Amino acid sequence: MPTCLTSTSLYDSLRDCMTEDRQPEPREIDRVAAKIWRDAYSHRDNLQWPQVEAGSADHRRTINAARAALGMHFGRRVRRAKVA
C-alpha cells in the first residue's frame, strides 16, 4: 500500500506523494484542497470545504491549487529536473 494513503498528517501525505513520484489519489487531492480552502478562503463565505459546490469556480481554483501543490499540472504529474 502506498505510504501516502496511510500517512498521519497532511504534511506527511504531501511529502510521501512527492517522494514516491506517482499520481496522487483523488482523496489526497481533496485532502490538500480542504487545507487550502480552510487557510485561504473559508473566512470569506464562512463555508467549509464539503459545502463548496463541486464544479464552481471556487472549487476548480482550489482543486487546481491542490494539484499544483502535489506537483501536478492539468491532471498530469510535472516532471522535475534531476539534480546532480
Residue 12 has pLDDT above 90, yes or no: no
Judge whether 40 lies within some domain.
yes
Judge whether 84 lies within some domain.
no
φ and ψ of 49, to 5 deg: -55, -45
Interaxial angle between packed helices 57-69 and 26-40, expressed in degrees from 0 to 180 and rounded to the nearest 10: 110
Report d(CA 72, CA 31) in Å as an integer: 15
Compute the mean pLDDT over every residue in the chain, rounded to the nearest whole number: 78
Judge whether 34 lies within some domain.
yes
Residue 32 has pLDDT above 60, yes or no: yes
Q: What's the mean pLDDT in 34-46? A: 88
Judge whether 3 lies within some domain.
no
* Distance (Å) of CA 49 to CA 3, 4, 5, 32, 77: 25, 21, 20, 11, 24
Instruction: Show the domain range for 54.
Output: 23-77
Residue 21 has pLDDT above 50, yes or no: yes
